[in-house]
């Protein structure tokens, strides 16, 4: 009876690794291809179309959350 439980446990381990292994590899490949990026982006916004610094201290930094 003890050996049958060992066989079931070994089968369960093989099934778990057959599911987790590809998921882990896909996740690593995604991070390598797409890169790890911050979901927020900081850009500089100017007060006029001429992109000059105004009296109030422009350019301004704006933080944008990406989708």
Structure confidence at residue 39 as a pLDDT band (50, 70, 90): confident
Structure confidence at residue 23 as a pLDDT band (50, 70, 90): very high
Tally DSSP H helices, then E strands, for the chain: 1, 2
- Give the CA dihedral 13, 18, 21, 22, nearest 10 degrees: -170
Evaluate if pTM is beyond 0.85: no
Q: How far apart are CA 63 and CA 50, in angstroms?
A: 22
Looking at the DSSP bridge assignments, the partners of residue 60 are: 45
| Site of tokens 């003890």 | 2
Q: How far apart are CA 5 and CA 11, in angstroms?
A: 10
Structure confidence at residue 1 as a pLDDT band (50, 70, 90): very low
**Could you give the percent of the chain with pLDDT greater than 70?**
66
């Amino acid at each position: 009876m003890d050996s049958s439980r060992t066989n079931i446990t070994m089968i369960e381990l093989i099934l778990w690794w057959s599911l987790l292994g590809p998921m882990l590899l896909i996740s690593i490949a995604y991070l390598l291809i797409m890169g790890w990026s911050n979901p927020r982006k900081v850009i500089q916004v100017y007060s006029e179309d001429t992109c000059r610094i105004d009296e109030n201290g422009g350019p301004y930094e704006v933080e944008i959350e990406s989708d």
